[in-house]
Amino acid sequence: SASADESSSFLHKLLLHGDKYCSSIHTRMLIAAYDDYIVAWSQNQLRLFAVSAKTFSSAGEPDNCIELVLSNPPAYDVDNVLVSCAKHLLLSGPRGITVVSLPKTPATLLNERKALCKSWTLGEHFFLCHKSVSLVDIAWHPDSESGLHVLALTSDNNLRLYDILEPQSAQLVLPVGVNHNLSGTLSASVGDAAVSFDFWDFPAEGEARQVFVLGGSGDIYLTHVSPQDDNRSHLRSRVWSSEHAASSRGQLRC
């Protein structure tokens, strides 16, 4: 029937309980591309929905939408969905990180409506024991040979490198910023809380990837983070100071 076709469409499933996607605090990115598929997270149903980009219809027509049910769904609100080249997906929010093992060949699921995906939590013990610390930013490390390394920035001004196959503890914890020993709340109050990071271009041979960390004050810090356990990860220095920029502008006005 038409109603049955509509209820199985990708957009219809996402529109159910649409208020769950709204947030006045965090920007949410709950849709990602996986091969030729569009994958989206449903906070209300605690599962992923996938649809072939070739059959996707914006008119609510039947499009062979597939439900990806997680073995261990996140117990927190998800703000971000990130797919890796190694067939894994990250679901992250301020209170945690969940890894999802995606089907190796999604095309084989075309005749199925539902599939079970293995999922597990990264750093679960850390977030449970540090209620005042939240996840600020996260990305797959581009230099991971296995494609299994994740770099996370937490509100205590630390970069944490995880191997998703060893989820309980971080492979590396690297402090960033001047006041990394302060609590997240105090650091934020003095404007020194790190708010984001990004990777630089391909590193020179034998060097670790450069990572730039943005502080709430506008300062930018440079660090190097290698997914290999070879002591190449370290904090270098602050490379841009908002105070210096303000001083320069003041001199120009004189």
Short-list 244, 177, 166, 248, CA closest to 212: 177
The total of other beta-carbon atoms located within 10 Å of residue 238's CB is 16
Spatial strand order in the sheet of 114-117: 31-34, 37-42, 47-52, 66-70, 114-117
Write down the mean pLDDT value for the chain. 79
| pTM for the full predicted model | 0.79
Q: Is the distance from CB of 89 to CB of 106 less than 8 angstroms? A: no
Please give the average per-residue pLDDT across 5-16, as a whole number: 59
Per residue in 162-191, pLDDT (tens digit) is 999 999 999 999 998 755 554 444 444 445
Write down the domain spans for the chain.
1-120, 123-254
Sheet containing 209-215: which strands, arranged edge to edge? 194-199, 209-215, 220-225, 234-240
For the chain, what is the total number of helices (H) and then of strands (E)? 5, 17
Q: Which of 152, 154, 146, 157 is nearest to 228 (CA)?
A: 146
